[in-house]
């Protein structure tokens, strides 16, 4: 996935405001199950919030690891929540139209 421009990042952040976290990073950290859950959520929703319950001090590093593992883009980390985006493979299935 390509890097996002500032305008695109801002657009996705606004879209994510109403979303609830669907993936949680707890005491077990970044396990295969967490990566698989995020991958599935991105396939279903495109834009996903991840809440860091534990490992709060490492949230930036873990977010970048999740970004690489799921071939997504880290939109932003706000507090203990990371926002991830991966567009649907088919353009007609995409829920979000990014500004140029």
Distance CA 22, CA 52 (A): 11
The strand pair at 47-52 and 23-25 is best described as parallel
Threshold 0.75, pTM exceeds: yes
> Per residue in 15-59, pLDDT tens?
999 999 999 998 888 899 999 999 999 999 999 999 999 888 889
Distance CA 55, CA 63 (A): 11
Structural domain boundaries in the chain: 6-84
DSSP annotation of 17 reads T
> Per residue in 61-92, pLDDT tens?
999 999 999 999 999 999 999 999 999 999 89
Distance CA 59, CA 57 (A): 6
Assess if CATH 3.40.1230.10 describes domain 6-84.
Answer: no
């Amino acid at each position: 996935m390509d890097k996002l421009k500032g305008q695109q990042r801002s657009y996705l952040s606004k879209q994510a405001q109403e979303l609830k976290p669907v993936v949680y990073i707890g005491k077990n950290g970044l396990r295969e199950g967490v990566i698989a859950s995020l991958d599935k959520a991105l396939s279903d929703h495109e834009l996903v919030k991840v809440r860091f319950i534990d490992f709060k001090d490492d949230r930036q590093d873990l977010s970048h690891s999740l970004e690489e593992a799921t071939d997504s883009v880290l939109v932003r980390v706000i507090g203990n929540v990371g926002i991830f985006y991966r567009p649907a493979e088919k353009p007609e299935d995409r829920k979000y139209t990014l500004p140029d």
